[in-house]
Copies of this chain bind each other. A is one copy, B any other.
């Protein structure tokens, strides 16, 4: 059996830090175990173009392991070429880089390690909200360049207390974000989701559902995106929706870059309609050097909290998703049932409603 894993390169960091399990070098800790069972493991970060390791080895791999951080994009075309492929495992959460309709059609299972990094991402969301609202980045840059002008920072620094904060998506990540926001004494917590939360769950974080998306964003000082990317959410936050945001509001997206329209966000930031945008996801990854989200700023020269896609790949998360990937592989090899919450596409059908299947 050939197992193909597309991971990000760790280089020197991976040698120095063995807990960087999710790298090409450390191979999710699977090498010796798979070898001992007589299976072949091919690991690479080379994923673009017909001559890439990804496209060469997908032709006869039975198992494909990918991550959201350095996604191997398994298109319908590539799926056609993957004659032996039986199962795709996402080491992490978010399998939108796999053409799920094609997987259903070709009877390829798609699984992810559902719980592995939801807390990591939720923490990143709360951090990002705080650093935008409190104007951290321009303050730190002022210190680095040797200046000191408190008023230039304070003029755009606010408290999170008494703000209205809303999440698009109140699933595993969105709910954890809400939990962490409660003691900050927001004015109100809101959510937008296709399905209402059970009453007891909503009550536990004192959150109110708003059914209309435009109405929802128009009430929020802070909007955070915590829904999967699929046909129904691609470009959801576009120029039209942004025009319904409160002037001077903040937007945090650690879900998927393509949920927000790249240029519309940059334009809203420039015009002052948005006061800040932060997150770790990009419409293409790695992001090109000239991606506008790298350099966009608000009118006061701040409001950008972008980072590379790493919120779900902290060392703590890597330990969890390496373990989870092995566990899914073990189930596959021994014919044991998979944990239902990890199954995105089962035997020829969607098992999760998260990717837009209502």
Contact = CB atoms under 8 A, between A and B. Distances in A.
Nearest to A26: B151
Given A150-B8, A155-B20, A161 B316 contact: yes
Interface string A295-311: 10000000011111111
B134 A314 contact: yes
Contact of A13 (B148, B155, B160): B155
Interface in A285-326: 285-287, 289-290, 293-295, 304-311, 313-318
B123 A161 contact: yes
Interface stretch (A83-91, A138-146, A264-272): A138-146
Contacts of A348: none
A188 to B, nearest CB: 16
Given A70-B150, A150-B70, A313-B150, A136 B127 contact: yes
Given A119-B161, A158-B316, A124 B131 contact: no
Contacts of A146: 289-290, 294
Given A119-B159, A119-B161, A139-B308, A151 B8 contact: yes
Contacts of A316: 158-159, 161-162
Given A286-B148, A313-B154, A123 B23 contact: no
Most B C-beta atoms less than 10 A away, residue of A120, A134, A313: A134
Contacts of A195: none
A198 B74 CA distance: 58
A126 interface: yes
Nearest to A70: B150
Contacts of A258: none
Contacts of A22: 154
Contact of A310 (B19, B139, B179, B293): B139
A27 to B, nearest CB: 13
Contacts of A8: 150-151
A307 B153 CA distance: 10
Contact of A307 (B143, B304, B311, B315): B143
Contact of A140 (B123, B137, B161): B137
A69 interface: yes
Nearest to A294: B143
Interface string A4-21: 000011110110110110
Contacts of A148: 285-287, 308
A182 interface: yes
Interface of A: 8-11, 13-14, 16-17, 19-20, 22-23, 69-70, 119-120, 123-124, 126-127, 130-131, 134, 136-137, 139-140, 142-144, 146, 148-162, 179-180, 182-185, 280, 285-287, 289-290, 293-295, 304-311, 313-318
Given A127-B127, A149-B308, A157-B315, 6 more contacts: A119-B161, A127-B131, A146-B290, A146-B294, A153-B310, A158-B316
14 contacts: A13-B151, A13-B155, A22-B154, A119-B185, A120-B161, A124-B134, A127-B134, A140-B307, A143-B307, A153-B307, A157-B310, A157-B315, A179-B183, A180-B184
- Top 9 nearest A-B pairs (CB, nearest first) are A139-B307, A148-B286, A127-B130, A10-B151, A146-B289, A159-B316, A17-B155, A13-B155, A157-B314
